[in-house]
Amino acid sequence: GLSFVNNEGEQIKFEPLSIGSIDLNSLLPKGVIKPGAAQAASVVKLLSTDYGPAIWDPAASCNYDTTAHSSDTVVIHVMEGSLAGTRSWFKTCDHGTLGPSSCHYNIGSDGTIVQMVLEAQTAWHAGCYNYRSIGIEHEGYISQSSFPTAMYDASALLTRDICNRRGIPKQKTTVGPGIIGHIDVTNCCCGTHTDPGNGWNWSYYIGKINGASTLPMWGPIVQAQDGGLEFFTRGSDGNIWHRWQNGTGDVGWLPSPIPWENLGNSGVSGVTIASSIGCGILPDGRIEFFGRGTDNNLYHRWQTAPNSGWNAWGGMGNGGVALNGTPTVAVTADNRQEVYIRGIDGNCWHIYKLTSGAWSAWENLGKPSGVDLVSDACAMQQQDGKLQFFFIGSDGNLWHRWQTCAGYCGWAAWENLGKPSGVTLMGNPNMAVTADGRVELYIRGNDGNCWHFFQNVVNGGWAAWENLGKPSGVNLVSDAASLKQQDGMLQFFFIGSDGNLWHRWQTCAGYCGWNAWENLGGAPLTGNPHAALSSDGRIYINVSSTSGGMSTLVQNAPNSGWRAWSSHGQPNSSIGAVVADTDYFVSPGTPTLSASSASSSAINLSWNAVSCTDNSGIANYEVYRNGGLIATVSGSTTSYADSGLSANTQYTYKVRAKSGNGLYGVFSADTNATTWSIPTTPTATATASGTSSISLSWTASTNADGSGIANYEVYRGGSLLASVSGTTTSYSDSGLSGNTQYTYKVRAKSGNGIYGAFSADTSATTWSTPTTPTTTATATGTSTISVSWTTATNADGSGISNYEVYRGGSLLTTVSGTTTTYGDTGLAPNTLYTYKVRAKSGNGVYGSFSADASATTYSIPSTPGNVVATSANYSISHVIWGAASDPSGIANYEIWRNGTALVTLSGTTLAFDDSGLTQGSTYSYQVRAKNNLGVWSDLSAAYSVRTWSILLSDNFANLNNWTASKVADGTTRGLSLDTVNGSSLSGGSGAPSGRADVGSSGSNGSYSYNGASTPFAIGYIECSMYDSATSNTSRNGISFRKSTNDDISTPRLVYFLGCDGSYSTTAYTCSVYGTSGGWTKHANGGTRTVGWHRFRVSIDGTNVMFYVDGNLKDTIAEPAEKTDGVNRWYIGNNYNPNYVAYYDDFFTCMPTPPTPTPGAPSGITSTSITWTFTEGPSDYEQGFRIKDTNGVVKGTVGRNVFSWTETGLTPNTQYTRVITAYNGTLESPVSITVTATTAP
């Protein structure tokens, strides 16, 4: 055995243990000097030789240096994992790229200390500080906001001992010597580590190292036989303290006024209680509790009677192996108590009541093969009465054993229940039994979550590990406390890294799910929670505050919400007890609460301020919703805005005040309020309505709270586009890009300002704009232009419905989408027209206009002017006109006769002779021009002409009455007028249409055709004559004559063409005779030749023209007697011809004069009227006749006389006259009538 006193004055004693004949030296750590045989008996197996309370578990030799060194610094580390995992890591050589590592001491969250490297040797834990420091690792993570008190306290005692022995300053520094964190090594010298982290309480830790009081270790809560609750704690003095209820139900606590009773410690001098305690109930209702002493033996104490005092402490030994951790108590099916605790050998040690009532010897229930047990046990009966107990092993798995029967019997072998994938189990397991009899366990993982392992059938197998999670942003840092509340639902509790108590509870009693995490507050809390049911079914929870006091949370009623936290203070051996029990102060008043909805997820609360008569004031108010605490506000605050609520839901609130002394007042009466409802979600539909617009519509939203819909918000592409009134369910979005998809959503806003959810996204693609055609315009006529364009396309699939053709900026026509041409008509000639075309899609979208295309219509030639038609022949008209003009030039002229196209002439021709006409007929002529574009001008105004009339024609066909002689050309034709042959004409016998010249004989060689009774002013005679010689004195030819009284012997006018030997024997003579002027003769008719010649004598009222063989030979002015006109025509001569001459084809041709135009009557008297008039366009008349409407000639005037006075009229009488012109026997049509009335 071993007994010694450490540097704290604590006596450490170990009872001897027989280990047989083992070589004790072989068990010494590497580097320890082997003792002699005399010393061997005093060596303690498995215990540290540097620090008695530590377990010796040497690291692998590859992970440290046996070189001795002196230390002036203690370096504090955090493992970033569990104690079991760290121990395993240091005992393994394969660390990959991290290299070898170790630490002198390693401390678990429950205060277990394991030494793995001797202090004199060099552990590899702090880089450049390894050879001057002692390293201490602590279970947990640098991210934790706090660490267990038991671990702080155990580490502090160790560090105090190291510092005292080695003369190290017991103060926090940033460089050695002293006490530093690994982060200080990084900051000053080397490495990258940042542990122990911000959650490490250096102030508390250094205080404990320097002798500050240790926090109490709170123990379980149990229900005594009378139904009252009792709870126990190990005080900082190593004694066990307790309190108990003064009755059952909702009552106060004893002892009072001294709030705690000291139940002492082990009863062994120098031995105090080192662990928390385990409690059990004896069959007769007495309470019994157990604790591990500082000598690592088990001690217990029990009541003398139910609800009574206590027997003295009793020692229960340790079975030869130092015990570790906290004992766990369970009751068998036959009401025997059993205790389970792990030894420093990693085994489960077991002591239990025999059926006789005595305690058994210690029984080693062992450990899994190759695995040490590293946690405290949890144990409980399952439904069939069999006990089960559970440990966490050094492999991080959950292990258990169970009885083979219910009662007094053996145990099944160890079974590995595993662990969650990738997670290390932390702390100690906790268990409960469901309403349907299944075992469930709750264990904290190194990920900060609660992991849940449970039977899937009663007394049966196990479901897979289930992660019950953790509060948002909070890690779980304590062991669980769990129980079955009055309604059968399980609840479990953890302390979070925020220092608050958190819990979850089942949604039903039995096999079902869990409600969400709820924060029960209480911060700052530490240690592990303990829970129990009171006799009236309410849950009581005790937890240690960081100040060392006991904080308590109690349900308001069974299965209900929670009261405010209260405190039982803490035991203190220096004064016997602490009097800070909240039972002795006055409670504050009760506020009056009002609640009103502020939104769909918020309700505003307000209450009146209350006071407290103990003058401690109001520290704060607690606000409860539906029975659960939701907020704590300062005592000066009388309002609270509750948010995150469900819409259109009624919530019930109450408020209570807490005094400055920590006492709570009575809750206010419940007050209800209903959150505003959220408008229903509309269904939105987007439809393209153009290239830059989309029409959006949606179903009307409703709102259950009666505030109606105030407006709708329309979003496009995730951004607010517009807000419209609540009665509007459509919106037109404009200004968009073409052929582009847009996405919309709509939400409603209620009259209370609450927004509903957005509709599902709805999308539409704007219509595309048709492509722009290319347009071409081409003139096709004077009034037509052909427009054509390229085919347009459209990307949105609606096709091209039509094209619009614009002229001069205005819509001209619309054609189908398959048409790409248009003929424009009705245009003005020689005019520039500009066109553009645009396409329209099947969706009605217009594309851009094409570029302008222009064309100029063909020009129309000007109409030929001054068209004049004349006729100087019985079968020919002569037409002349003025030249037309055109920008393209004149290609042709077209002559129309009597409304029908007659002939086409070149564009340079301005005259045309129309032949083959009918004598004495009227012809109307028009002319039009054609330009080089093929365009015709309008027809000119019509100009009418009348062909001359043949008054006499003689072709000498009746040769029986004539002497037929052969002429020089050998033909028999014509008439020979000579002294020999002419005698047969004497007396005119057989002469065709003629008579012998008056006073002439049959042999005078001339023949006179009877002329008209009325003379002619205009006309011509023509005849063929055969000249038999080129020179002689012959007198043969043709002539016009006018004789007074038709007396040939007294001629007034003679126009002669032919042979006049008296004037020229070799030339044809042109002769004019007038009484007033005599003869005028010219030998201009051309040289005589033998043969036939065609002679013509033509008069126009001014001149006499002489033609030989169609050629004009001479022109001689008519003498003054021309006004008399001519009335006879001759062949031959009235002189003896002496020579033979032949004649053939004689005719005379005269024009009919045009109709005159009457003028205004003048010189009107009561008996006379002067009628005036003008001649027609051709000066063809010999005179004019004035007629009445019956055709009776009233008067006649001669040539170029344009008025006539009619006399002998009746006064004051209206007279109507017409005018005609005459030329010999030819007379014009009558003129229009003219009327005049004589004066009265």
Integer CA distances (angstroms), 448 to 471, 497, 530, 847, in order: 9, 9, 19, 67
Q: Tens of pLDDT along 197-209?
A: 988 988 788 878 8
What's the rounded mean pLDDT across residues 481-493? 94
1009 with 1062, same domain: the answer is yes
- Using 50, 70 and 90 to split pLDDT, how confident is the model at 960? very low
| pLDDT value of position 498 | 87
1088: number of Cβ within 10 Å: 22
Judged by average pLDDT, the poorest of 17-26, 95-104, 186-195, 1038-1047 is 17-26
Omega of the bond leading into 29 within 30 degrees of 0 (cis)? no
The residue among 612, 644, 674 that closes a domain is 674
Specify whether 852 is located in the same domain as 872.
no
pLDDT digits (tens, 9 = 90+) for 772-789: 999 999 999 989 999 999
Domain final residue, candidates 744, 765, 786 = 765
In order of 994, 998, 1007, 1129, the CA distances from 988 in angstroms are 7, 11, 9, 16
Q: Look at residue 604 and tell me if it is in a domain.
A: yes
Q: Is the pLDDT of residue 1043 over 90?
A: no
Statement to judge: residues 670 and 783 lie in one domain: no
Residues 923 and 1038 in one domain: no
- 3-state per-residue secondary structure call for 113-154: EEECCCCCCEECCCHHHHHHEEEEEECECCCCCCCCHHHHHH
Reported as a single tens digit per residue, the pLDDT across 793-818 is 999 889 999 999 999 999 999 999 99
pLDDT digits (tens, 9 = 90+) for 61-94: 999 998 878 799 999 999 999 998 899 999 999 8
Per-residue pLDDT band for 1009 (boundaries 50, 70, 90) equals low
> How much is the pLDDT for 828?
93
Contact between 926 and 867 under an 8 Å Cβ cutoff? The reply is yes
What is the CB-side half-sphere exposure of residue 155 using CA atoms within 13 A? 32
Long-range CB pairs of 865-868 (<8 Å, 24+ gap) are 865/940, 867/925, 867/926, 867/927, 867/940, 867/941, 867/943, 868/943, 868/1177
Residue where one domain finishes, among candidates 674, 708, 726: 674
Residue 735: predicted pLDDT: 94
Residues near 935 by Cβ (< 8 Å), separated by ≥ 6? 781, 782, 829, 858, 859, 860, 861, 886
Average of per-residue pLDDT across 414-418: 96
Are 1186 and 1140 within one domain? no
Predicted confidence (pLDDT) per residue in 47-65, tens digit: 678 887 899 999 999 999 9
- Tokens matching residue 54: 């530590």
Is residue 1227 pLDDT above 70, yes or no? yes
Q: Is the same domain home to 759 and 882?
A: no
pLDDT digits (tens, 9 = 90+) for 1198-1209: 988 999 999 999
User: What pLDDT score does 959 carry?
Assistant: 44
- How many CA within 13 A on the CB side of residue 1211? 4
Q: 3-state SS of 364-402?
A: EEECCCCCCECCCCEEEECCCCCEEEEEEECCCCEEEEE
User: Is the pLDDT score of 313 beyond 90?
Assistant: yes
Per-residue pLDDT of 5-41, as tens digits, reads: 444 444 445 455 444 444 444 444 433 333 333 333 3
Give the contacts of 324 (CB within 8 A, at least 6 positions apart). Answer: 55, 112, 292, 296, 341, 342, 343, 344
pLDDT of residue 215: 57
User: Are 1133 and 1079 in a shared domain?
Assistant: yes
Per-residue model confidence (pLDDT) at position 568: 77
The amino acid at 7 = N
User: Would the pLDDT of 178 be above 50?
Assistant: yes
Residue 575 has pLDDT above 50, yes or no: no
Integer Cα distance of 612 and 219 in angstroms:
34
Determine which of 2-6, 165-169, 858-862 has the lowest per-residue pLDDT on average. Answer: 2-6
- CB under 8 Å to 1166, separation ≥6 — which residues? 1209, 1211, 1212, 1238, 1239, 1240
- Collapsing DSSP to helix, strand or coil, 161 comes out as helix
Task: Tell me if 954 is assigned to some domain.
Answer: yes
Question: At residue 443, does pLDDT exceed 70?
Answer: yes
Residue among 483, 438, 445 nearest 462 (CA): 438
Q: Are 115 and 57 in contact, with CB atoms under 8 Å apart?
A: yes
Higher per-residue pLDDT: 547 or 132? 132
Cα torsion for 1228, 1232, 1237, 1238, to the nearest 10°? -20
- Judgement on whether residues 791 and 902 belong to the same structural domain of the protein: no
The pLDDT value given to residue 923:
94
Query: Could you tell me what percent of the chain has a pLDDT over 70?
Result: 87
At 1050, the pLDDT band (50, 70, 90 cuts) reads low
Is 284 within the bounds of a domain? no
Where residue 1086 falls (left for φ over 0; alpha for ψ -120 to 50; beta otherwise) is: left
Task: Classify residue 815: in a domain, yes or no.
Answer: yes
Residue 172's CATH number: 3.40.80.10
- 907 and 957 share a domain? no
Q: Say if residue 958's pLDDT is above 60.
A: no
What is the pLDDT averaged over residues 165-170? 86
Residue 1144, CA distances (Å) to 345, 729, 774, 972 in order: 177, 113, 78, 11
Q: Is residue 35 part of a domain?
A: no
pLDDT at 1089: 93
Helix axes 202-209, 149-166, angle to 10 degrees: 50
432 — pLDDT class (breaks 50, 70, 90): very high
Nearest to 361 by CA among 376, 339, 377: 339
* Confidence category of residue 642, pLDDT binned at 50, 70, 90: very high
Q: Residues 796, 852: one domain?
A: yes
Torsion sign over Cα 798, 800, 806, 810: negative
Question: Exposure pattern of 389-418 as b/e (b: 16+ CB <10 Å)?
Answer: bbbbbbbbbbbbbbbeebeeeebeebeeeb
What's at 941, amino acid-wise? A
Angle made by CA atoms 170, 174, 177, in degrees to the nearest 5: 50
The pLDDT value given to residue 146? 81
Evaluate whether residue 761 is within a structural domain. yes
Residue 261 is predicted with a pLDDT of: 87
> CATH code at 839?
2.60.40.10
Q: How many domains does the chain have?
A: 7
Q: Tell me the three state secondary structure of residue 156.
A: helix
Please compute the mean of the pLDDT values over residues 726-742 and round it to a whole number. 95
Pair 77, 181 in one domain = yes
The arithmetic mean of pLDDT across residues 842-856, rounded, is 94
Domain limits for position 833: 775-856
Confidence of residue 1140 (pLDDT cuts 50, 70, 90): low
Residue 274 within a domain: no
Evaluate if residue 614 carries a pLDDT over 70: no
Confidence of residue 572 (pLDDT cuts 50, 70, 90): low
pLDDT at 216: 66
Asked if pLDDT for residue 993 goes beyond 50, the answer is: no
Question: Both 890 and 1024 in a single domain?
Answer: no
What confidence score (pLDDT) does residue 957 get? Answer: 58
Question: First CA to last CA across the chain, in angstroms?
Answer: 189
Between CA 583 and CA 580 the distance in angstroms is: 9
- On whether residue 188 sits in a domain, the answer given is yes
Q: Quick one: average pLDDT of 441-462?
A: 93
**Banded model confidence at residue 579, pLDDT cuts 50, 70, 90:** very low
1016 DSSP 8-state letter: B
Q: Do residues 496 and 505 make contact, with C-beta atoms less than 8 angstroms apart?
A: no
CA distance 607 to 619: 15
Regarding predicted confidence, which is higher, 632 or 576? 632
Mean pLDDT of 326-333: 94
Range with lowest mean pLDDT among 153-157, 465-469, 1026-1030:
1026-1030
Q: What is the mean pLDDT of residues 468-489?
A: 93
CATH at 988: 2.60.120.200
Residue-averaged pLDDT of the chain: 86
DSSP state letters, 639-654: EEEE-SPPTT-EEEEE
Question: Do residues 722 and 703 touch, judged by C-beta distance below 8 A?
Answer: no
Q: What confidence tier does 166 reach under pLDDT thresholds 50, 70, 90?
A: confident
Work out the pLDDT band at 991, boundaries 50, 70, 90. Answer: very low
Report pLDDT for 990.
35
